[in-house]
Amino acid sequence: MVFQDFDKISERRRLEREQKFRKRITIAFIALVVLLILIAAGIFVIITENKAKKAAKQNDHEHPETAKKAGNIERVIKNACNSTSYKDTCIKSLNRAVQKNPSESNPKELLRLSIQATDDEFETVLDKASSLKFVNPREKAAFDDCKELIETAKEELKDSISHASSEVDMFTKNEPELNNWLSAVMSYQQTCIDGFPEGKIKTDVENIFESAKELTSNSLAMVSALALFLQSFRTTRRLLAKEPISSFMHEDGLPSWISHEERRMLKPPAEEAEEKLKPTVVVAQDGSGKFKTISAALAAIPAKYNGRYVIYVKAGVYAETVTVTKKMVNVTIYGDGSKKSIVTGNKNFADGVQTFRTATFAALGEGFMAKAMGFRNTAGPQKHQAVAVRVQSDRAIFLNCRFEGYQDTLYVQAHRQYYRNCVILGTIDFVFGDGTAILQNCQLLLRKPMENQQNIVTAQGRIDPHETTGIVIQSCRIGPNQDLVPAKAKVKSYLGRPWKEYSRTIIMESTIEDVIQPDGWMPWEGDKGLKTLYYAEFNNKGPGSKTDARVKWPGFHLINKQEANKFTIEPFLQGDWITAMGAPVHFGLY
């Protein structure tokens, strides 16, 4: 039995060895087949790649400059668009521009091509908007405003195109102008949209403007990126008043648009220059001047007038709607005092007038200046939006002026603006808009609103992070007007609220009285803009300036001296033009 069992075990082991051997043979065969397949595939890939390289080499040999140029342009476009918020839109628009104008595909021209693409898009915007059906008077009025705003935007885009240069010296001079014009173009688009009442038409208009807004934003971003790139080549900083800051400065440091006679008068100190400045025409209600209305005096400006047109407005209350048109450049209007020479009106939103059109006085022409004048909108708080003054003028100055209204008193719509020793009265958002404005040594007085209303000093309207706009209140006083004093404990008042997503307001070195709530700022609607806005306070005083209970929004900041300096006259307004126009101004921090 024992030997018989052993034989069975030996036979079983032999069979197992034979089975393992066959298994190894099978595995080896399969591995060989796989190896042969991989070798064949590798040979195929090598042959294919060699053919492709040979074809590419032959193509490069036949068209070397074209291939190299196309590759370079493609890389440059991608790099240029990296700084933008809408990269796909940027790449597509620049590629189209290069294909359309291959002779202008120099990488240095990309900024100009980007702005040109924005200008081209406005033609499409106007065509699409014109095809909409407006069913009520407010929509029709809003569209009329849109057409005017689009034409203005196109004019300033053309200015931008003509000044878009990547040459170090030229770009350094033109950078502030490009930022200024393109930021204004953003403002015009949003003003157009805001003019329409809520509903389908407004949504349609927003969609029509979407591409144009993206292209404008991208152009602004490219200006900033190019400025940063060229910064290393700059040999001087624009820190001294005598240093010209734009291509519009004459060699003597005064703006090039100022006449020889005006240049002579402005060289002495500001006070002396003001004494020597004589009126071109006089407006007087009693007939002692050449005109009885300001509008008539403006209409009489010659089409090709050289120098500054100075209108002296004698004491009186002038009930008229006044517009200094975009063609009326370098106009000065001065009166006998802000409580003596007064322009008044009562247009308002409640009566069916667009906010844009409610202004008693509108300044559009470049280089506008007003001195010792009063501006009123007497519609009252129950009429809601009712603007006293709308300012679209670039390099606009208001000295010793008074602005009286309730909601939306002063509309700093667009461009660079400077206010000095002015008094501004209002209730809701009474300093608002998307201009680049600094108020110095001014009084902002809150009036008594209607029941259940709150007071808000500012509502800045920046819609894009690349805009260089904002409202700066420096060395001012924020307090109650006489009518609010008895009721100030019952009325909540705030420094500002974010009208748009990137609202920017800075209050510094000012006196804030106890009329302002401890949290300081209020939201517009929900959490709109609370993360993207920029609200800042620096070195203020007074009982309303305490910051320990201020809002905790991500966009609110208590800034230091270094940060506050960025919002002073020179860096924020490139403000040499202020002294050049004979106005008193304080550079830097107090």
Q: How many CB atoms lie within 10 A of CB 43?
A: 10
Least confident stretch, 25-39, 110-124, 405-419, 550-564: 25-39
Confidence of residue 104 (pLDDT cuts 50, 70, 90): low
**Which pLDDT score, from 0 to 100, does residue 264 have?**
43
**Which pLDDT score, from 0 to 100, does residue 109 have?**
80
Residue 247 pLDDT more than 80?
Answer: no
**Which pLDDT score, from 0 to 100, does residue 24 have?**
67
pLDDT tens track for 368-417: 999 999 999 999 999 999 999 999 999 999 999 999 999 999 999 999 99
- Write down the catalytic residue from 394, 408, 429, 464: 429
Separation of first and last alpha carbons in the chain: 118
**Which pLDDT score, from 0 to 100, does residue 135 have?**
87
CATH superfamily for 278-581 is Single-stranded right-handed beta-helix, Pectin lyase-like (2.160.20.10)
Q: The whole model's pTM is what?
A: 0.82
Domain spans in the chain, listed from the N-terminal domain onward: 72-234, 278-581
Contacts of 163 (CB under 8 A, 6+ apart): 170, 174, 177, 178, 247
**Which pLDDT score, from 0 to 100, does residue 90 have?**
92
CA distance 475 to 122: 41
**Which pLDDT score, from 0 to 100, does residue 199 have?**
93
CA distance 126 to 485: 49
**Which pLDDT score, from 0 to 100, does residue 564 have?**
98
Confidence of residue 39 (pLDDT cuts 50, 70, 90): low
Least confident stretch, 144-148, 164-168, 299-303, 388-392: 164-168
**Which pLDDT score, from 0 to 100, does residue 229 have?**
73
Going edge to edge, which strands form the sheet with 374-377?
316-319, 341-345, 374-377, 402-404, 423-426, 443-446, 477-480, 511-512
CA distance 388 to 321: 10
For residue 29, the Cα-to-chain-centroid distance in whole angstroms is: 74
Q: What is the mean pLDDT of the chain?
A: 85
pLDDT tens track for 53-78: 555 455 445 545 554 555 567 787 88
Higher local confidence (pLDDT), 94 or 316: 316
Residue 45 pLDDT more than 90?
Answer: no
CA distance 590 to 575: 16
The top-level CATH class assigned to 72-234 is: mainly alpha
Contacts of 112 (CB under 8 A, 6+ apart): 161, 164, 165
Residue 540 pLDDT more than 50?
Answer: yes
**Which pLDDT score, from 0 to 100, does residue 75 have?**
80
**Which pLDDT score, from 0 to 100, does residue 232 have?**
57
Q: What is the DSSP string of 18-36?
A: HHHHHHHHHHHHHHHHHHH
**Which pLDDT score, from 0 to 100, does residue 4 have?**
43
Higher local confidence (pLDDT), 80 or 430: 430
Q: Is 394 one of the catalytic residues?
A: no
**Which pLDDT score, from 0 to 100, does residue 100 have?**
78
Confidence of residue 216 (pLDDT cuts 50, 70, 90): very high
Mean pLDDT throughout 275-288? 86
Can 72-234 and 278-581 be said to share one CATH topology? no
